[in-house]
Chains A and B, each alone.
Chain A
Amino acid sequence: MSVHIGNAENAPSFPRAARAALINTQLRTNVRNATNIIQAKRNNMTGELPDWEELREAGHAIKNHTLKYLDLYLEQFEANVTRAGGMVHWATDADEANQIIGNIIADCTGKEIIKVKTMTSNEIRLNDYLENSGITPHETDLADLIVQLGNEDPSHIVVPALHINRTQIRDIFQKKIPLHELGIDNLTDDPQQLAEAARLYLRHKFLTVDIGFSGANFAIADTGAVVVVESEGNGRMCLTLPDVLITLLGIEKIVPTFRDLEVFLQSLPRSATGERMNPYNSIWTGVTPADGPSEFHVILLDNGRTSVLANGEGREALNCIRCGACLNVCPVYHQTGGIAYGSVYQGPIGAIVTPQLQNLEHSRSLPYASSLCGACYDVCPVKINIPEILIFLRGEIIRDEQRTLLGKFQLENIAMQAMALVFSSSGLMTTAEALAKFAQGPLVHDGIINRLPGMLSGWTNSRDLAPMPRKSFRDWWLQREKDKGQ
């Protein structure tokens, strides 16, 4: 088994990628505008529900319960899909999933597929795989279409083209869509016109392509149903019109019962796009005679999820319902946008999901791409304690590095070990404080330290440091006790 999460294993470290993002002022403006709008809408929509916290609590409880019995729920889901005329396939990793999908398509006559937005297919790099096998995948979600035609990377799990503004979109459409053939002569950057161009461009595909492909928001164990929520209707087109439908879903997408939708159909749309309900939700079970595809395949994908499950303190990352609220609220994401994370899963949730899926072998800088402010936890509709998991992962990575000789003798590790020793001994602490007060003398200018020497300069590159006060808390406390005694 070999886990691949998009191309995350080859992505540059977050600090390096972030530097490139930060000098792109256009990107920063686009990201800031979009996240501000979406966040304000989300706050309105969650604020109007008197039972919002109870919905979060219920979502959390249902998801944790599902993880505990995940094997049983998957078996129940499989049995119900099969009973309803669908076919269930299991894939341990990205390569196996791609092969299964490739084989299903090879048995069909068509050489094109129409796709609903699915991050999981980006995770397994399905489009690359299909193109190499002579199959043409058409993204039909507007944002995904923009990303695909513009040869861009998705930068947000809900609105992948969030970093691209209307003028840039017009330029991409002018280059890549045969506008003239569609009867469009003068495309402006008006969103209504751009959406109309996409409608006309895709209409023909919807009516002619025979294979549909989707991800899933939820898979219901007790009925075998799959749920896709969307806005544009492209999802309904792909799920309903082709003869063959293929759905790829991560094994963590399972929910126990149809009834559990009453929680997630409230918390997901309000968190994701700031709407009371998505314009469209499709729920279907296997195949239905004379309604929709006559052949239905589900691929259940592991690709590292079972390693996350084995991670006692990190496993709640699997509870994510991919709403993107934590991205929109994150001060780090606000500055860098999503591409700097080097993963199909960006932002705070991406920072705990991406490294864990890869068993902490790659994307090791991501748990540090956070100020640990906790805003992500506050907005999470299933109450994933992201900051806690980030800290846990930082610890895992450090412990991992300490296991190697090189890591053990790294300056930073030696310094941290020395600190740990000092902090654990009162006498050493007193001596260290006295030493530091003395040593900091030449560094203090106008009451602050704005440049530390050597490797410590990393800290002061972007912020000032307050000098050690003349009297430490411990001095003050001792004095106070002494005064009391008198």
Chain B
Amino acid sequence: MSAESRAAILARIRRANGVADNPARVSQQQHEWSLLSRAYRARGNLDDAQRLKLFDERIRHYNGTPFYSTGNIQSDIANILTERGKQTLIVPAGLPSEWLPEDFDFVPDNNLSKQQLDAADGVVTECTLGIALTGTVVLESSPTQGRRAATLIPDYHLCILRKGDIVELVPEAIRRLESIKGRPLTFFSGPSATVDIEMTRVRGVHGPRTLDILLI
């Protein structure tokens, strides 16, 4: 059934385009793709300090909170978690253990159930990169960033980002993600939100409602 439909749909497309099923078209296809007009900005022009400042502004604009490392990541994390009143936190199995302060309950995510994830106060992970212009953080599925469910179900997310991993523009981010494009990727810009009621932005629907970013 599906095989017949597949053949029928492809045949209809070829008829509509007036082409035959010809393997030589693949190189033509790639060639024409490479010639497509891309006159938009591919590279930003801010220096490191300006880029960081813009990222900071945009993260705040979308209700995330940036923190700056004092050089001691372990005590930075302790301070933030104390300020937020979080005690039990999920951590991906590969997160450096020397980052984790004592006096908190860090639960490694060894395939925890959804209910176990839901019971935690929050989650602490690394991330792949930040985009300054849009106030976006990108997560990939990896040992230090965990699986997607772990950064989704808990209501609080503390995300650790290297300042050197902040790019200015979306195309710069996409270029850096090219090598890991097959992994699950999550872009988030602030905590979850909705504008479905009279276009009024409401914070915190289903994803984590509080987002902190520790810049190291």
Residues of chain A at the chain B interface (Cβ within 8 Å): 1, 30, 33-34, 37-38, 41, 50-51, 54-55, 57-58, 61-62, 65, 67-75, 84, 89-92, 96, 100, 140-143, 146, 159, 161-162, 165-166, 169, 191-192, 194-196, 198-199, 202-203, 206-207, 223, 225, 231-234, 236-237, 239-241, 251, 256-259, 261-263, 265-266, 273, 275-285, 288, 290-292, 300, 302, 306-307, 309-310, 315
Question: A100-B2, A143-B196, A280-B187 given as contacts; is B204 within 8 A of A195 (CB)?
Answer: yes
Of the candidates A71, A223, A276, which one forms a contact with B13 in the assembled complex, judged by CB atoms under 8 Å apart?
A: A71
Q: Is the CB of B149 within 8 A of A90?
A: no
Please name 29 pairs of A and B residues whose Cβ atoms are closer than 8 Å in the assembled complex, sorted by A: A37-B198, A51-B41, A54-B41, A65-B32, A65-B33, A69-B25, A69-B29, A96-B1, A169-B197, A191-B200, A202-B206, A206-B114, A251-B13, A256-B33, A257-B33, A262-B175, A263-B40, A265-B170, A275-B189, A277-B131, A280-B186, A282-B184, A283-B181, A283-B186, A284-B185, A291-B184, A306-B9, A310-B12, A310-B16
Q: Which residues of A contact B14 (CB under 8 A)?
A: 71
**Is B196 touching A236 in the complex (CB atoms < 8 A)?**
no
Q: Find chain A residues with CB under 8 A from B194 CB.
A: 142, 195, 231-232
- Distance in angstroms from A163 CB to nearest chain B CB is 11
Instruction: Determine whether the beta carbon of A278 is less than 8 Å from that of B189.
Output: yes
Q: Known: A234-B205, A277-B131. Contact between A90 and B9, CB under 8 A?
A: yes
B125: interface (CB < 8 Å): no
Q: What are the 9 tightest A-B residue pairs by CB atom distance, in nearest-first order?
A: A233-B207, A233-B206, A306-B12, A310-B16, A233-B192, A291-B147, A277-B134, A232-B205, A281-B187
Complex contact A223–B182 (CB within 8 A)? yes
Indicate if the CB atoms of B184 and A236 lie closer than 8 Å: no
Q: B111 within 8 Å of A by Cβ?
A: yes
> Is B10 engaged at the interface, CB distance under 8 Å to the other chain?
yes
The one of B1, B19, B181, B187 that contacts A225, using a Cβ cutoff of 8 Å: B181
**Interface pair A258/B181, CB less than 8 Å apart:** yes
In the bound complex, do residue B206 and residue A96 qualify as a contact, i.e. CB atoms below 8 Å apart?
no
CB distance from B94 to the nearest CB of A (A): 13
B residues in contact with A192, CB < 8 Å: 202-203
| Nearest neighbor of A1 in chain B, beta-carbon distance | B8
* Contacting pair B202 A58 (CB below 8 A): no
Q: How far is the CA of A100 from the CA of B147 in the complex (A)?
A: 29
Q: Is the CB of A232 within 8 A of B149?
A: no
Q: Is the interface of A mostly helix, strand, loop or mixed?
A: helix
Contact A231-B186, Cβ < 8 Å, known A33-B198, A202-B206, A262-B170: no
Residues of B within 8 A of A206 (CB): 114, 206
| B51 contacts the other chain (CB 8 A) | no
* A58-B189 in contact given A256-B33, A291-B147 (Cβ < 8 Å): no
Does any Cβ of A come within 8 Å of B101's Cβ?
Answer: no
Instruction: Decide: A306 near B152, CB < 8 A? Known: A198-B205, A236-B186, A277-B131.
Output: no
B60 within 8 A of A: no
Asked whether, in the complex, the Cβ of B36 is within 8 Å of the Cβ of A306, the reply is: no
Interchain CB contact under 8 A, B197 and A232: no
Tell whether B190 is near chain A: CB-to-CB under 8 Å: yes
Cβ B174 vs Cβ A240 within 8 A? no
> Complex formed: what's the CA distance from A91 to B6 in Å?
7
Q: Out of A57, A195, A276, which one reaches B205, CB within 8 Å?
A: A195
Question: Which residues does chain B contribute within 8 Å of A251, judged by CB atoms?
Answer: 9, 13
Do B184 and A288 touch across chains, with their CB atoms under 8 A apart?
yes
